């Protein structure tokens, strides 16, 4: 009897799902999340709460993500993703269309003309920018400076928006941000109100904060997301070669989330990274960034920082899809990063 009842329930669910798939939208009406096959009001509410608030967000998601968030079956998740992709025509497109889309990219000034020239006008949105270097090379100083400059109007090289700051090393210093803001002629109190800081206590917490970041992006007009530093928690929790595969897998998922944030919301994602000394390098600089190829491939622009004499620092552009390698000399002073 119970088996018959269960089969009847499954049959009804299947029929409801088929009905959802066959439902046609009104002519001229734009497709929404609830129009996707198998996504009812309850599932849509869960997706929206988790930051999947557009067809684009669902189209680039994996079935396992939707299963975990909305509590739907894997088959339903696959159909919903396919429907979202079909509605957005996510296939081949001309290079001309891609060029038009790249015209929407914003560039954030670093505060240094030398650095901006090295970076082709500043740090670009829609991708991840990584800076790495030894301790005292000035990685966090970049973060503090960008927290201020991101709030400048567009015509002054800013993004006219707020900042999300994921702090994994307890290195965020609001008094330093205030010092830079004063030098830039901004009200430190107003600047602080637009910087939202979260302390990540382990790698899982760090990944959760990146997921939650998507909820605040539109609500708080966030234009810059900072992770300082990217790998410190992963490095301390996953020790030895036996755990290397697990570490890289989690790190890959984290980088994928950050990349999705950058592309979907057209924001600047800026991460700092720790380094190690490679024992196999006998000649030249043995310094290399933590995270291996996972981080290297995901970070579209990579900058190696090193200390020079006094307050001088050297930034080397290691990798960029469109810019040549080069170096720039700048200073880190009480007023922030300057030429």
The string of DSSP letters for 83-104 reads HHHHHHT-S---HHHHHHHHTT
Instruction: Give the residue extent of every domain in the chain.
Output: 2-88, 101-338
Q: Which fold has domain 2-88?
A: DNA polymerase; domain 1 (1.10.150)
Contact yes or no for 337/111 (Cβ under 8 A)? yes
- pLDDT for 171 equals 95
pLDDT of residue 286: 87
Residue 14 pLDDT: 40
Q: In the CATH scheme, what architecture does the domain 101-338 have?
A: 3-Layer(aba) Sandwich (3.40)
pLDDT, position 7: 45
The two tokens of residue 227 are 């992770």
Q: Residue 124's pLDDT is what?
A: 96
Query: In order along the chain (339 residues), what is the average pLDDT of each group of 10 residues?
Result: 46 40 47 85 86 83 88 90 83 85 92 97 97 94 98 97 97 97 96 97 96 88 97 92 91 94 95 90 84 95 94 96 95 95
Cβ atoms of 255 and 206 closer than 8 Å: no
Residues shown for the chain: 339
Which ranges of 89-229 does DSSP label H, i.e. alpha helix? 95-102, 113-118, 139-149, 174-183, 188-193, 203-219
Pairwise CA distance, residues 272 & 22, whole Å: 48
pLDDT of residue 207: 96
């Amino acid at each position: 009897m119970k088996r018959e009842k269960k089969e009847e329930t499954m049959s009804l669910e299947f029929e409801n799902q088929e009905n959802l798939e066959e439902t046609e939208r009104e002519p001229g009406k734009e497709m929404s999340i609830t129009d996707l096959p198998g996504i009812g009001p309850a599932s849509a509410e869960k997706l929206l709460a988790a930051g999947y608030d557009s067809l684009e967000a669902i189209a680039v998601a994996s079935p396992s993500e939707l299963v975990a968030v909305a509590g739907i079956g894997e088959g339903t998740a696959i159909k919903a993703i396919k429907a979202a992709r079909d509605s957005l025509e996510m296939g081949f497109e001309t290079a001309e269309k891609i060029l038009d889309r790249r015209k929407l990219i914003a560039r954030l000034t670093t505060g240094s003309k030398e650095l901006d020239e090295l970076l082709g006008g500043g740090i670009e949105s829609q991708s991840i920018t990584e800076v790495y270097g030894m301790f005292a090379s000035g990685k966090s100083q970049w973060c503090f400076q960008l927290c201020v400059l991101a709030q400048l109007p567009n015509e002054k090289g800013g993004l006219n928006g707020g900042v999300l700051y994921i702090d994994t090393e307890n290195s965020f210093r609001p008094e330093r941000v205030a010092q830079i803001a004063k030098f830039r002629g901004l009200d430190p109190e107003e600047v602080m109100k637009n910087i939202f800081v979260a302390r990540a206590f382990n790698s899982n917490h760090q990944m959760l904060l990146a997921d939650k970041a998507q909820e605040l992006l539109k609500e708080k007009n966030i234009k810059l997301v900072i992770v300082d530093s990217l790998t410190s928690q992963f490095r301390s929790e996953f020790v030895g070669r036996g755990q290397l595969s697990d570490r890289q897998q989690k790190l890959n998922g984290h980088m994928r989330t950050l990349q999705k944030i950058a592309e979907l919301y057209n924001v600047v994602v800026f991460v700092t990274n720790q380094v190690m000394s490679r024992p196999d390098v006998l000649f030249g600089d043995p310094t290399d960034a933590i995270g291996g190829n996972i981080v290297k491939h995901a970070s579209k622009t990579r900058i190696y920082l090193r200390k020079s004499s006094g307050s001088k620092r050297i930034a080397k552009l290691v990798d960029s899809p469109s810019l040549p390698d080069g170096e720039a000399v700048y200073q880190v002073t009480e007023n922030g990063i300057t030429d």
